[in-house]
Amino acid sequence: MIISENFEELASLVESDEKVVFFFTADWCPDCQFIYPALPEIEERFPEMTFVRVDRDDFIDLAQTWSILGIPSFVVTQKGKELGRLVNKLKKSKEEIISFLEKCR
């Protein structure tokens, strides 16, 4: 998983030819902490996708622009287009995330 450092990197990833999964999170978020242990398995299941961890607090303007109103949340893009989003304030299970990503394949 790539841990996003700056806006330029995020912008280039959005425009990537690959499918990119932006995982909006924050270290203080208990629901995010709940899903962290499952992420390596999820990433392994979708090797064709690039996973990017975006700290919502570090990129609050981007989160607002993308209407990320709750975390953890996931947005999948490819070539500058949004392919799908799992954005809400609810706790997410590994199965729910996998089902969402399957739809974005």
104 is catalytic: no
Q: Which residue out of 32, 52, 54, 75 is catalytically annotated?
A: 32
| Residues whose CB is less than 8 angstroms from the CB of residue 78 and which lie 6 or more positions away in sequence, other chains included | 16, 17, 18, 19, 20
Q: Which residue out of 29, 42, 49, 76 is catalytically annotated?
A: 29
38 close to 98: Cβ distance less than 8 angstroms = no
Residue 9's nearest CA partner among 50, 57, 47 is 50
32 is catalytic: yes
Q: Which residues are catalytic?
A: 29, 32
